[in-house]
Structure 1
Amino acid sequence: MENSKKAAVATATLSREQLIEFYRLMYLSRRTDDREIVLKRQQKIFFQVSCAGHEALLVAAGMALRPGYDWFFPYYRDRAICLTVGNTVEEQLLQAVGAAEDTASGGRQMPSHWSSTKLNIVSTSSSTATQCLHAIGCAEAGRYFSRHPEAAAKHDGDYRQFKDVKFHGDEVVYVSIGEGSTSQGEFWESLNTASNEKLPVLFVVEDNGYAISTPVEANTPGGNISHLVANFPNFHFAEIDGTDPIASYEAMVEAVAYCRSGRGPALVHGHVIRPYSHSLSDDERNYRSAAELEADALRDPIARMQMWLLREGILDADAINRLERSVDDEVQRAADHAVHAALPAVESITRHVYSEDLKPTDARFNVEPETTADTSERTMADLINACLKDEMRRDERIVVFGEDVADATRDEALRAGKLKGKGGVFKLTSGLQTEFGNDRCFNSPLAEANIMGRAIGMAVRGLKPVVEIQFFDYIWPAMHQMRNELALMRWRSNGTYSCPVVIRVPIGGYLTGGSIYHSQSGESIFTHTPGVRVVMPSNALDALGLLRTAIRCDDPVLFLEHKRLYRETFGRAAYPGPDYTIPFGKARIVQKGKDMTVLTYGAVVPRAMQAAQKIFRESGIEVELIDLRSLSPYDWETIAASVKKTNRVIIAHEDMLSWGYGAEIAARIGDELFHDLDAPVRRVAAMDTFVAYQPVLEDAILPQADDLYKAMAEMAVF
């Protein structure tokens, strides 16, 4: 009786042709898996992970959604939905062999790492659960463009080369995840924001009972993720047999309709099977019993759909055989083409690490300051705030968010003039929410990965997020998103997606009482990451000019702001106008000299200046002081010219000495400028420890002007 009801519903909503196509896509996915397995055993591809057992759930999702209209953040078992929305077998097998023709990555990603700008499939990584937050940001961007359609208009003649933004107002964002990955914090953070904001995100949990060899009961309390998420408000939930094609389709149609109506997100928890091992690098017979595998085989969705078509008289055995032979031929042709396809050229390796169209090193960013009516000197904090306001007025796509950056989330009293507002713990975003509204400046949850992951999704979709991590000391929860997603989006998608997020981060010590968790440096960890630009100004004018370049360029930028310098007398400057920019990779010669070179940046710059002035007064030694200000890229030409002139060099930085930023520059100087040196390269930096609370200890740990003076004096007599 129940089966006949399902059949009636299915035939009422899906035509005979659609039901046949449903089965064809399922079978096509399975046979593509099988062909990859053969190719792997023939050593023609190098990795294989299958979609087998998930096909019914995923074809159902694909048929319920709209290709090129809705957005997709799949994971590596999502072959079937990608085929359903328009990806081809040939495209998938070209990725498997790592061909130059691979449209997803140009041979850079493993198989089953989907990407298609045409189909709105956003480049997938191997990381688990990170894509959940990208889906949130994408949905937020879609909502933003529907509320602010003027922001989607192309900005001709602008610095930033805006891409056309596609938005419809009712699109759904699909994101999938394996049951094991629901243990990740990003999954829960994404549910929080989707629930709070009633975002049109369709979460699909593909529960095959295992996370590699870890069974569901060891991964999920109670063994059922649906029981754990059930109390999130504003959600539509469905738990289904994901091997049942008809039940899967009904559930997906209902979930998509709920999301598209604007009522909130949906989560479909599908119980599927994994008839093949986790990947061909795994042998599940080592941890799964024969009886368990046999039980799974009885639920195989391919067999279930085939039997249903036969039972309902939609296809007979001959028709099924003809369909399957046609699919086999299609897969064989695709495989034949893929294995003979040209491989990527070695010289292509460095393409798309950074933007090739709008580089922050371009001469267009070399703009002189304007003389304005207001010549009063302002602090670094003042000019950063002024720059943010300038750029938000110029470009409606800029959104600012982070912890405590808004003036007041409950803004009624603020707008009534009864509250002053916060605007960041250092007041650098003060007034942004008041002027630009809650859509463009808002507080995030206290979750750094949430900030970064959402910003990635927004940037992929066409917004320009300028986010704040409140203290560098707490950037580490966002590190996974920054290293494996933000930095790699352009390169791994072979230039088809970009992610131009600006991350503002207060950094550093010299605070008197900042202690371990408010005084960290660690910039070398990020300069070691290709794909992200890193800058660190030491004065107000540089801060404004570099920040404006960061916002107007098309690369991800880590913008490090030294807390001690925010309101220092040192480095104040007049407002240089609304278009003042400084190119990255161009150092500033703070003071010319002939006897030695000192390379530094950040809060060490004024301390080096004190030391240089003292040694000149006492000994007549002329120090050439260079503020690098751009750490990645850095200005090798200015460094080399100075070292060739002075023949002595000291590199100073606030971070620890060992494995610090200065080590790379010292190594390159030794390698390329050895014959120009009259003394060994010297480094001055913090002790190899953490920053202590007691000022006596902090002063001893961090490099001081006296430490620099001593190094200069010793260098001079070498």
Structure 2
Amino acid sequence: MAARTTTAGTTKAESALGSLTGEELIHFYRLMYLSRKTDDREILLKRQQKIFFQISCAGHEALLVAAGLALKPGYDWFFPYYRDRALCLALGQTVTDQLLQAVGADDPGSGGRQMPSHWTSKPIHLMSPSSATGTQCLHAVGCAEAGIYFTDHPDAAAGEYGAGDYRKFKDVSFESDEVVYTSIGEGSTSQGEFWEALNTASNNRLPVIFVVEDNGYAISTPVEANTPGGNISRLVANFPNFHFAEIDGTDPIASYEAMREAVAYCRARKGPALVHGHVIRPYSHALSDDERWYRHPSELEADALRDPLGRTEALLLREGFLTEEALDKLKRAVDDEVRAAADVALGAPLPLVANITKHVYSEDLKPTDAVFATEPKLEDAVDHTIADLINHTLRDEMRRDPRIIVFGEDVADATRDEHLKTGTLKGKGGVFKITAGLQTEFGSDRVFNSPLAEANIVGRAIGMASRGLKPVVEIQFFDYIWPAMHQMRNELSVFRWRSNGNHSSPLVIRVPIGGYLTGGSLYHSQSGESIFTHTPGVRVVMPSNALDAAGLLRTAIRCDDPVLFLEHKRLYREAYGRAPYPGPEYAIPFGKAKTVKTGTDLTVVTYGAVVPRALQAAQKIEREQDISVEVIDLRSLSPYDFEAIAESVRKTNRVIIAHEDMRSWGFGAELAARIADELFHDLDAPVRRVAGMDTFVAYQPVLEDAILPQPEDLYRAMAELAAF
């Protein structure tokens, strides 16, 4: 295929040798051959059962070496995928680095946690990839946004903000013309995250290069079954602000010229670029696959004629840059290098079992640390709602820390902010008004609306946080968090662990949750917190009152872990739990429950909107039946305070676990199992659960009241347990 590069309707025919010198082309070829021989060595090791998985870069080498040579390691940023071996070698990774991962040694990039072809290097800005295809495109977008933000706000990239030693900021490296690279196979262009990333990159003119490595197959599915018309370039051609190039990715000259043009376009801040390279896949998808089952031999023979190594060898010999003898010498040197690297990798120490849980969470600043235990310093004696204190806390934290960015659906006061400046608009600030006034005070580059796409919100935030920003993003309703679940479970939660602590993404996701709304129905009343407490790597908190909301939110923002901050919608403006603002340094450690009522006869462990309902039932049963109930508000669900639960159960010898989410498979099941396991001899009655029905929340209030736990349900359970 002839090279074709288009920008704003122009075309350019590439010269025979492009801008590469003979020496540079030899180096280019050496990197390609090094990548292929590393693939071959891994295949040999897999057949010898010395490694456990193999997936190759074969056929993609010309396009990827071109990308690596056109970009700058340690200057630009890279969000690759698992075919990008040649790119990583071109950026400066060694074969030893790559084979250490293949054998599962204690490699610095993942500590034996990632399968082969998922390389990481902090010094060269190579970000940790996952096996999930397409998700990294949004991370690249967020990374580019962070780079632009630091360029526009250089004061935010250095220094310390706030009092105390617990929140020291490291200097953030950025370059005013840095470029962010991300790549996918043509099959991954079917993923929604890819299109969401193009959307934001186009709208914001971000310096992101999207490289589509089109080898014609997504495992066994041919490109025409994935992409309408079989060509992604035709589908994306109308995105504004983009530079597009569709090239023969097996041609080193065409690949290099296309990448140079794309990089120059992005460095000039004209917008993003997409380079669509048609490559080949001479080996099967992976060694666990056999392409002979679904590809005809004639097709494989045609691909072999386009092999980029053969094409580049022929060019070097034809142009006289290498003789046959010099080419053989180069190959022998590479063969020796790969063989020696394999010997080193096979002799390397294995990761320690004792380190399995290292880097699940931050090793530096944990939200459970005592430094977050502070006393309130009241600014006034006026009681405020949870909504008020969340807004107040966000304001104070944003005043303290210029790295905090707030975005989500409808969180801005008005996207067309010229009307705010004239005072002709009041501004929205979220459907619950929690972020009202923040954009007006801090500007549209710190508070802005996202597209209506939850994966876009979380994926971009991951990329921003990986660069040193502190995104505090909002998912408008918990009911619509599920499009972001892929980003949260497969990316956010594992980012630090899979990279062996080289990278992290500490951000806050605020989410209104729960029912008791009188008409919220099944799409505005969901709970489901146990799904996220089942995810290591993410902290989960759920305050029930204004003071706790302020203290826990401040800890969430200042700690070094990702936090899911659940805000119960029914409690936003309830009379229960109002409090004066506790001051700009008030924080509460995670994992510390709060006894909201002491008692001697039984314990109720709960959280969220069930806390005031449990208190109501406890006060009633104490008046009517003289049963003394202790009520514990967990506040923090992951981690949770089992010590407080145990202390109370040892005192009362009876326990009820109450929550709004459905009873089966809920958060209470884990607590009940652990109490029965560890506190069995302290119990005088079975562990009791009070929770929602195993169904959905209905619109009609009569049905909603029956579905969700009410004070009378708790009262009845208390009476029955006390009589046991």
TM-score range, shorter-chain basis?
over 0.9
Pick from 570, 575, 587 the counterpart of residue 569 of structure 1: 575
Pick from 68, 71, 76 the counterpart of residue 62 of structure 1: 68
Pick from 688, 696, 705 the counterpart of residue 711 of structure 2: 705
Q: 1:10 to 1:90 in 2, by over 3 A?
A: farther
* Residues 1:86 and 2:92 aligned together: yes
List per-residue Cα deviations over 1:652-705 (Å, max 9, x = no partner). 000000000000000000000000000000000000000000000000000000
> Could you tell me which residue of structure 1 aligns to residue 268 of structure 2?
261
* Residues 1:300 and 2:307 aligned together: yes
Pick from 615, 620, 623 the counterpart of residue 617 of structure 1: 623
- The Cα of 1:13 is off from its aligned counterpart by 2.3
* Residues 1:547 and 2:545 aligned together: no
- The Cα of 1:54 is off from its aligned counterpart by 0.1
> Could you tell me which residue of structure 2 aligns to residue 458 of structure 1?
464
> Could you tell me which residue of structure 1 aligns to residue 383 of structure 2?
377
Letter in 2 for 1:624: E
Asked if 1 retains the 8 angstrom alpha-carbon contact of 2:450 and 2:457, the reply is yes
- The Cα of 1:18 is off from its aligned counterpart by 1.2
Letter in 1 for 2:208: V
Pick from 366, 390, 412 the counterpart of residue 406 of structure 1: 412
- The Cα of 1:163 is off from its aligned counterpart by 3.0
1:437-586 equivalence runs, <5 A: 437-586=443-592
* Residues 1:25 and 2:31 aligned together: yes
Counterparts of 1:186 and 1:162, CA distance in 2 = 31
Counterparts of 1:432 and 1:507, CA distance in 2 = 22
> Could you tell me which residue of structure 1 aligns to residue 136 of structure 2?
131
> Could you tell me which residue of structure 2 aligns to residue 685 of structure 1?
691
> Could you tell me which residue of structure 1 aligns to residue 59 of structure 2?
53
1:300-339 equivalence runs, <5 A: 300-339=307-346
Letter in 2 for 1:183: S
Pick from 235, 248, 251 the counterpart of residue 241 of structure 1: 248
Counterparts of 2:444 and 2:714, CA distance in 1 = 47
Asked if 2 retains the 8 angstrom alpha-carbon contact of 1:503 and 1:557, the reply is yes
List per-residue Cα deviations over 1:496-549 (Å, max 9, x = no partner). 111101000000000000000000000000000000000000000000000000
Pick from 173, 186, 189 the counterpart of residue 179 of structure 1: 186
Letter in 2 for 1:117: K
Counterparts of 1:158 and 1:394, CA distance in 2 = 14
Counterparts of 2:531 and 2:200, CA distance in 1 = 29
Secondary structure of the residue that 1:624 maps to in structure 2? strand
Counterparts of 1:456 and 1:161, CA distance in 2 = 20
Secondary structure of the residue that 2:596 maps to in structure 1? strand
Asked if 2 retains the 8 angstrom alpha-carbon contact of 1:160 and 1:554, the reply is no
Secondary structure of the residue that 2:183 maps to in structure 1? strand
Pick from 637, 643, 649 the counterpart of residue 649 of structure 2: 643
Counterparts of 1:306 and 1:375, CA distance in 2 = 80
- The Cα of 1:603 is off from its aligned counterpart by 0.2
* Residues 1:279 and 2:282 aligned together: no
* Residues 1:291 and 2:294 aligned together: no
Asked if 2 retains the 8 angstrom alpha-carbon contact of 1:466 and 1:501, the reply is yes
- The Cα of 1:713 is off from its aligned counterpart by 0.2
Pick from 192, 203, 221 the counterpart of residue 214 of structure 1: 221
Secondary structure of the residue that 2:405 maps to in structure 1? strand
Asked if 1 retains the 8 angstrom alpha-carbon contact of 2:396 and 2:584, the reply is yes
How many correspondences in the alignment?
713
Secondary structure of the residue that 2:656 maps to in structure 1? strand
Secondary structure of the residue that 1:593 maps to in structure 2? coil
Counterparts of 1:263 and 1:669, CA distance in 2 = 60
Asked if 1 retains the 8 angstrom alpha-carbon contact of 2:18 and 2:253, the reply is no
List per-residue Cα deviations over 1:61-88 (Å, max 9, x = no partner). 1111011100000000000000001111
> Could you tell me which residue of structure 1 aligns to residue 125 of structure 2?
120
Counterparts of 1:301 and 1:61, CA distance in 2 = 15
Asked if 1 retains the 8 angstrom alpha-carbon contact of 2:604 and 2:631, the reply is yes
> Could you tell me which residue of structure 2 aligns to residue 600 of structure 1?
606
- The Cα of 1:164 is off from its aligned counterpart by 2.6
Secondary structure of the residue that 2:637 maps to in structure 1? strand
Counterparts of 1:103 and 1:179, CA distance in 2 = 30
Counterparts of 2:51 and 2:169, CA distance in 1 = 37
> Could you tell me which residue of structure 2 aligns to residue 189 of structure 1?
196
Asked if 2 retains the 8 angstrom alpha-carbon contact of 1:161 and 1:358, the reply is no
Counterparts of 1:352 and 1:10, CA distance in 2 = 50
Question: TM-score w.r.t. structure 1 length?
Answer: 0.98
Letter in 1 for 2:608: G
Asked if 2 retains the 8 angstrom alpha-carbon contact of 1:656 and 1:687, the reply is yes
- The Cα of 1:14 is off from its aligned counterpart by 2.2
Unpaired runs of 5+ residues, structure 2, are 4-11
Q: 1:12 to 1:450 in 2, by over 3 A?
A: closer
Pick from 212, 218, 225 the counterpart of residue 232 of structure 2: 225
Secondary structure of the residue that 1:589 maps to in structure 2? strand
Letter in 2 for 1:389: R
Asked if 2 retains the 8 angstrom alpha-carbon contact of 1:359 and 1:555, the reply is yes
Asked if 1 retains the 8 angstrom alpha-carbon contact of 2:697 and 2:707, the reply is yes
Counterparts of 1:507 and 1:443, CA distance in 2 = 20
Secondary structure of the residue that 2:315 maps to in structure 1? helix
> Could you tell me which residue of structure 1 aligns to residue 166 of structure 2?
159
Pick from 586, 590, 598 the counterpart of residue 596 of structure 2: 590
Secondary structure of the residue that 1:205 maps to in structure 2? strand
- The Cα of 1:15 is off from its aligned counterpart by 2.6
Letter in 1 for 2:141: I
Secondary structure of the residue that 2:523 maps to in structure 1? helix
Letter in 2 for 1:339: L
Letter in 2 for 1:651: I
Counterparts of 2:289 and 2:417, CA distance in 1 = 54
Secondary structure of the residue that 1:181 maps to in structure 2? helix
- The Cα of 1:11 is off from its aligned counterpart by 5.3
Counterparts of 2:15 and 2:381, CA distance in 1 = 74
Asked if 1 retains the 8 angstrom alpha-carbon contact of 2:158 and 2:170, the reply is no
Secondary structure of the residue that 2:604 maps to in structure 1? strand
Question: TM-score w.r.t. structure 2 length?
Answer: 0.98
Asked if 1 retains the 8 angstrom alpha-carbon contact of 2:18 and 2:257, the reply is no
- The Cα of 1:356 is off from its aligned counterpart by 1.1
Secondary structure of the residue that 1:352 maps to in structure 2? coil
Letter in 1 for 2:185: G
* Residues 1:662 and 2:665 aligned together: no
* Residues 1:627 and 2:657 aligned together: no
List per-residue Cα deviations over 1:287-325 (Å, max 9, x = no partner). 000000000000000000000000000001001000000
> Could you tell me which residue of structure 2 aligns to residue 251 of structure 1?
258
Pick from 352, 355, 375 the counterpart of residue 362 of structure 2: 355
Asked if 2 retains the 8 angstrom alpha-carbon contact of 1:532 and 1:556, the reply is yes
List per-residue Cα deviations over 1:395-420 (Å, max 9, x = no partner). 00000000000000001111111000
- The Cα of 1:95 is off from its aligned counterpart by 0.3
Unpaired runs of 5+ residues, structure 1, are none
Secondary structure of the residue that 1:13 maps to in structure 2? coil
Counterparts of 1:261 and 1:308, CA distance in 2 = 32
- The Cα of 1:158 is off from its aligned counterpart by 4.8
Counterparts of 2:553 and 2:23, CA distance in 1 = 56
List per-residue Cα deviations over 1:544-589 (Å, max 9, x = no partner). 0000000000000000000000000000000111000000000000
Asked if 1 retains the 8 angstrom alpha-carbon contact of 2:282 and 2:303, the reply is yes
- The Cα of 1:340 is off from its aligned counterpart by 1.0
Asked if 2 retains the 8 angstrom alpha-carbon contact of 1:73 and 1:132, the reply is yes
